[in-house]
Amino acid sequence: MTTFLAVVLTTLFSVTALLALIRLYRGPSLIDRVVAADMLLATMVGAVGAEAAVNRHATTLPVLVVLSMLGFVGSVSLVRFAVRDEGEEA
């Protein structure tokens, strides 16, 4: 049962990461690319968390914390940058 769960989770996370990478590559605007990068990072956090849950260990908790902080700080800083650029154009 654990192997089946791992295969299903791996497939879902892989498809999600692939779709986020496609949007990251094709995104016509900066905001599309920022959302895609944030989604890719969220997928990575979910994959690491699922791996920790399936294998029943908590040694990856610092990795999850760092990835979550990186995603939050990166998203906030890029949105602030995009909003500032929009304000200068008006």
Tell me how far apart the 2 most distant CA atoms of the chain are, in Å.
57
pLDDT of residue 39: 92
Q: How far apart are CA 75 and CA 53, in angstroms?
A: 27
User: Which of 25-34, 62-71, 81-90 has the lowest average pLDDT?
Assistant: 81-90
Report the share of the chain in percent with pLDDT over 70.
Answer: 92
Residue 16's pLDDT is 94
Token couple for 75: 């998203």
**What contacts 49, CB < 8 A, 6 or more positions away?**
60, 64
- Which tens digits make up the pLDDT trace of 13-22? 999 999 999 9
Q: Residue 87 pLDDT > 80, yes or no?
A: no
Which distant-in-sequence residues (6+ apart) come within 8 Å of 5 by Cβ? 54
